[in-house]
Amino acid sequence: MRSTKQNVLCVLLLLGVAALTACGGSPTKPAAKKAEKPEETVAAASEEELTPIELIPNPYLANPVSVPAQAKSEFARAQALMKAKKYEQAVGLWTLMTETYPKLSGPYVNLGIANWHLGNEEEAENAFKFAIQTNPYNMDAYTQLGVLYRELGRFEEAEQTYKAALQVWPHHRESVLNLGMLYDLYMGRLTEALANYRFSQRLLPEPDKKVRGWIADLERRIPTN
């Protein structure tokens, strides 16, 4: 599970937006067999393509959700169950929270994660979709749903989920990277993968060394004119 929220924002976003994930970090490139597809030519990145850009603010922060104090307390209890890997108990508490606080999308995301751990992929998918319906600015819901689709081999649906996230927030780096990895490792669309990796670097003040390696790898694999 993945998230980029930090410190105090982690608590608020986990309740109103984010999934039960570790604060900080970026998507990890999974190992996978690459799809067979003819490679396209690609040009070297221009200086503009590698220059950091002014970020569009996270739309969730511009559309805050009020979180009752009781919800924070219940969330902490459910989070403790998740950390203890008591997923069946966690499902019960997250379900109760979705009924008690239907305007909060965070419990839906966490309900999806708990069900995912239990192997209940359909219930997880539905929970992630409910989270997006409840709060379209919940970027973690898109991330979790996209990764679920990817792991189930539903690559086109994963692609559409990441693209939907980027319609909401074009500078959501997790969606940019996950879309790149989907193209790179699962769909054989290497030129598009490279474009996403390069763009993800522009969303940081300093380039990510790990992603720089991914870019170098693709530049070696894609023939130039």
**Considering the domain boundaries, does residue 28 fall inside one?**
no
**pLDDT recorded at residue 225:** 61
**Residue 159 structural domain:** 7-22+40-221
Residues of the chain with pLDDT below 70 are 1-50, 225
CATH number, residue 83: 1.25.40.10
End-to-end CA distance of the chain: 39
**pLDDT recorded at residue 174:** 97
**Considering the domain boundaries, does residue 30 fall inside one?**
no
**Considering the domain boundaries, does residue 155 fall inside one?**
yes
Q: How many structural domains are present in the chain?
A: 1
Residue pLDDT, tens place only, 96-135: 999 999 999 999 999 999 999 999 999 999 999 999 999 9
**pLDDT recorded at residue 66:** 86
* Distance separating alpha carbons of residues 76 and 26, to the nearest angstrom: 24
**Considering the domain boundaries, does residue 29 fall inside one?**
no
**Considering the domain boundaries, does residue 35 fall inside one?**
no
**Considering the domain boundaries, does residue 1 fall inside one?**
no
**pLDDT recorded at residue 139:** 96
Burial of 134 (0-12, 13-18, 19+ CB in 10 A): buried
